[in-house]
Amino acid sequence: MSSNAQASTALSDVFARFECRMNLFRFSIQTPKARAAALATADQDIDVARHLLLSMFTRRNMLVPISVLPTEILTRIFHFNTFSEDRYSLGWVQVTHVCRRWRQIALDDSTLWTTFSPYPRNKEWIAERLSRARNAPLVINLCGSMGQDSFSLFTPHISHTRELYLRNMPNIPHSTVIQGINAQTAPALEHLELSMSGYLSPTKHCVGDSFFGGPLPELRIFSVSQLLFPWSLVPRARLTELNVTLKEELHISGPEVSPQDDLNALIDLLVNCPTLEVLTLKNCLPVTLIESSGGQTLRLPRLSSLCLGGSSSRVTNMLKMLKLSSSTTLHLNCAPEYAVTPNGHVILPVLSAHFNLSTPIWFRSFKINLDHVEHVLDIVASTSLLTSPIPHANAIQTDTDINPELSLSLSFSRDHDFNNVVDIILRRVCEVLPFSKLEFLSIYSLLTTPPINWGEVFRHCTEVTTVQVAGYGMASLLEALTPPRRSSGKGRHDDNGRDTRGQAPDNDDNNDSVSALVHAPIFPKLTSLLLEMLIFNDVFPSSGILFDLVLSTVEQRKAKKTPLTTLCIDQCTISEDEADALEKVVPNFRWDGDQGDVDDDNDDDDDYDYGGFYYR
C-alpha cells in the first residue's frame, strides 16, 4: 500500500474513533469530573488530527515542482531575492515562512544573515541574526544615533567583518564606541568607512595609535570623513581606494598644526600604495603644498579616478606631483586663496599636460555652469556624448548620462570681477584643453551677465553641432549664434543704420564694440539648439526682444546655408503663437507646451522665480 493510502486510512481511523468516543461521551459527561476528562481526551484527539493534517500538507508540498529543486538551487534563488532589494532590507525573510524545508534551508545558509543596517534596532533580533550568521564574513552599517548597547553587540564580531561602515558618529561619546571597536583585530576587513558628525570642526585623534588592534591585510577601501589623524595611521597593505574628506579646509595658526599637514607623511603613504585606483583628498591637503614647487613625482599607474579639493595652490601643486595616465578622470575643486589674484587659471597648464600625454584624448561634451551668486565656475568635459538628446543643464553637477574625464570647479573671491574672470578663464580653457572635436556644448547661467565675447572664447570649437542655452542670463550667447547681416556701408547693418530685429545702430564707438560681440559667427556646423529657462518676451539693450533674436538666429542661419534642424524649448516663458512661429521655420521642433506667465509686464526691476531660483 502506498504512503498516501496509508495516511488516508489512518485519517479515517482517527475520525472513526472520534465518532465512537463522541457517542460514549453523551452518556459519560454527566459530572464535572467526567466532562473534564472527556475534554482532555478530545484535545488529544485534536492534536493527533492536527499533526496528521500537517503531515499531509508536508507530503503534498513535496509533490509541488519547486520542492523537487535541489537545496543548492533554492539557496541561490534566496540570494537573488535578497540582491533584488536594498541589501540592508529584510523583506526576503518571508521565504522562511513558506514551508518547513525553505525555512531550514535559509537557516542553514549563514551568508543570508550577514548584512546589518541601523534599522531595525531591536537588540533581540540583531542578536538572533548574528547567531544565524555564525562566523560568515559580515557587512555592518551603523550610525551614531544607535545606542552604545547596540554597538556592543557587534564588537565581538569585528574579527570576521568584511565591510564596516560607521557613519555620522557623534563627537562627544565617540571614544567609548569607536575605541571599543578599534581595540579589536580585523584580519578579514576589506572596506572601512568612518565619518564623524561634526559639520565644521573635525574630530581629532579619536582613534589613538591605530585604527584597529592589529594589521589589516585584506583592506582595499578606506574612507574617512571629518576626522583628523596622522597619515602614518592609514593602513597600506593592498589599498585600492583611499578617501579622506573634510567639510572645509583648515587654517590652523600658532604652535598647533593639523596632523594631516605633514607632506612627507602623505608622500610616503602614496608611494607605498602603488595599487591605488581611486584617490580622494578633499580639504585635507597639507598646507606646505602652498609653497611647494611640485618637483617631486609620485607615480600611481593604476589610478583611474582622482578627486582633489582645497585652495587653488594646494590642488594645483598636488596635481603637479602626481604622474598619472591620461585616462585618469579628474574631479577638482579649487577654492580661492586669501590673496586677491584670480589664480584659478594656474591649474590649466597642468590639466593641458595631463590630457596631452603620449595618448591624447579629445573631448566631445562640454558643460559650463556660471554661478554669479557664489562666484563659482563649474565645467564638466567628457569624451562621450550624452545618451539623451535633450539633457537638462541644471543637472551639470550630477549628470548620470556621461562619465566625465574632467570635472573642475573654480571659486573666486568677491574682490574680482566675476564676468571678466569667466571670460579670461574660458578662453584659456578652450585654448589649452583638447576641444577641437567638441560636438556638444551646454552653458547654464541664472543671472544676466554683461556681454562676453563668446566668438573669441569658442573660436577653436568649430565642430560643435548641438548647443544648450539655459538660464535667464544667456541671451548674449544667443546673440553670438546669429550670423552677421550683410553690411550696406561701413559701420552699418542696413540702409537705415539699424538692425531690423531691434539691434542698436553701430555708427558710434560704443555700439561698434557691442556689435562686434553680438555678431561673432561661431559654430558653423550647428544643427541643434536646446533652450531652457528663458523668458521670450524680455528685452535686451543690444538685441531687442528675446523671441525676435531666436527667430532671427533660425532665419539667418538658414539663409547662410547653415540651418538649424532641431529646436527644443523647455521650461521657458513663451506664448503659443511664438512657439507656432518657430515651429514653421524649424523641421524638428519640440516644445514642452509650458507657456509660463506670459501676461506679466516686462519690468527690469522684477524678480523672476524659476523653480526656486530667483533671476534679477
User: For the chain, how many structural domains are there in total?
Assistant: 2
pLDDT above 70 for 63: yes
Q: Is 263 helix (H, G, I), strand (E, B) or coil?
A: helix
The segment with the largest mean pLDDT, out of 265-269, 458-462, 595-599, is: 265-269
**Would you say residue 197 lies in a domain?**
no
What number is the average pLDDT over the span 73-89?
77
**Cα-based angle 207, 214, 119 (whole degrees, multiple of 5):** 60
For the chain, what is the mean pLDDT? 79
pLDDT value of position 243: 97
Lowest mean pLDDT of 162-166, 432-436, 602-606, name the range: 602-606
Q: Could you give the CA distance from residue 57 to residue 146 in angstroms, rounded to a whole number?
A: 43
> Among residues 533, 537, 529, which one has the least CA distance to residue 568?
529
What number is the average pLDDT over the span 500-521?
43
**Would you say residue 312 lies in a domain?**
no
pLDDT value of position 290: 77
Lowest mean pLDDT of 175-184, 365-374, 527-536, name the range: 175-184
User: What cell was used for 155?
Assistant: 564588537
pLDDT value of position 503: 41
User: What cell was used for 581?
Assistant: 512661429
Q: Is 165 helix (H, G, I), strand (E, B) or coil?
A: strand
pLDDT band at 318 (very low <50, low <70, confident <90, very high): very high
Q: Could you give the CA distance from residue 294 to residue 292 in angstroms, rounded to a whole number?
A: 5
Backbone φ and ψ of 291, nearest 5°? -100, 0
What number is the average pLDDT over the span 504-526?
53
List strand residue ranges (DSSP E) for 175-318, in order: 191-196, 203-204, 221-225, 227-228, 241-245, 278-282, 298-299, 305-311
How far from 231 is each of 247, 284, 318, CA to CA, in Å?
A: 18, 11, 16
User: Where does residue 562 rank: exposed (0-12), middle (13-18), buried (19+ CB within 10 A)?
Assistant: middle
The residue written with cell numbers 590652523 in the block is 252
Contact (CB, 8 A) for 362 and 434 = yes
pLDDT above 70 for 520: no
Enumerate the β-bridge partners of residue 227.
203
Q: Are strands 305-311 and 365-371 parallel, antiparallel or unpaired?
A: unpaired
Q: Could you give the CA distance from residue 105 to residue 75 in angstroms, rounded to a whole number?
A: 7
Q: Is 510 helix (H, G, I), strand (E, B) or coil?
A: helix
What number is the average pLDDT over the span 309-318?
91
pLDDT digits (tens, 9 = 90+) for 395-425: 433 344 457 899 999 988 877 788 888 888 8
**Would you say residue 330 lies in a domain?**
no
Domain residue limits at 48: 28-63
pLDDT value of position 497: 40
User: What cell was used for 57?
Assistant: 500538507
User: Where does residue 358 rank: exposed (0-12), middle (13-18), buried (19+ CB within 10 A)?
Assistant: exposed
| CA of residue 196 relative to chain centroid, distance | 20
Lowest mean pLDDT of 100-114, 480-494, 543-557, name the range: 480-494
Q: Could you give the CA distance from residue 36 to residue 74 in angstroms, rounded to a whole number?
A: 48
**Would you say residue 94 lies in a domain?**
no
pLDDT value of position 515: 43
Contact (CB, 8 A) for 473 and 372 = yes
Residues contacting 33, CB < 8 A, separation 6+: none
Q: Which of 63, 88, 117 is the last residue of a domain?
A: 63
Q: Could you give the CA distance from residue 607 to residue 596 in angstroms, rounded to a whole number?
A: 15
Taking phi over 0 as left and psi of -120 to 50 as alpha, with beta for the rest, 367 belongs to: beta
Q: Which of 63, 87, 118 is the last residue of a domain?
A: 63
Specify the amino acid at residue 529.
L
Q: Which residues of 418-433 are buried (b: 16+ CB within 10 A; e: fewer)?
A: beebbbebbbbbbebb
What number is the average pLDDT over the span 492-518?
41
> What percent of the chain stands above pLDDT 70?
76
Q: Could you give the CA distance from residue 223 to residue 201 in angstroms, rounded to a whole number?
A: 18
Lowest mean pLDDT of 167-171, 384-388, 545-549, 560-564, name the range: 384-388
pLDDT band at 502 (very low <50, low <70, confident <90, very high): very low
DSSP string, 235-261: --TT--EEEEE-SS-----SS---TT-
**Residues present in the chain in total:** 616
Contact (CB, 8 A) for 485 and 499 = yes
Count of C-beta atoms within a 10 Å radius of residue 544: 18
Q: How far apart are the first and last CA of the chain?
A: 92
pLDDT digits (tens, 9 = 90+) for 226-237: 888 899 889 887
> Among residues 612, 597, 465, which one has the least CA distance to residue 535?
597
pLDDT above 60 for 468: yes
What number is the average pLDDT over the span 449-459?
79
pLDDT value of position 198: 65
Q: Could you give the CA distance from residue 151 to residue 184 in angstroms, rounded to a whole number?
A: 13
**Cα-based angle 325, 238, 179 (whole degrees, multiple of 5):** 125
Q: Which of 63, 85, 110 is the last residue of a domain?
A: 63
Q: Which is it for the CA torsion 600, 611, 534, 452, positive or negative?
A: positive
What number is the average pLDDT over the span 570-595?
90
**Would you say residue 461 lies in a domain?**
yes
Lowest mean pLDDT of 185-199, 433-447, 577-591, 592-606, name the range: 592-606
| CA of residue 296 relative to chain centroid, distance | 33
pLDDT above 70 for 276: yes
**Would you say residue 221 lies in a domain?**
no
Contact (CB, 8 A) for 411 and 374 = yes
**Would you say residue 443 lies in a domain?**
yes
Contact (CB, 8 A) for 493 and 543 = no
What number is the average pLDDT over the span 256-267?
83
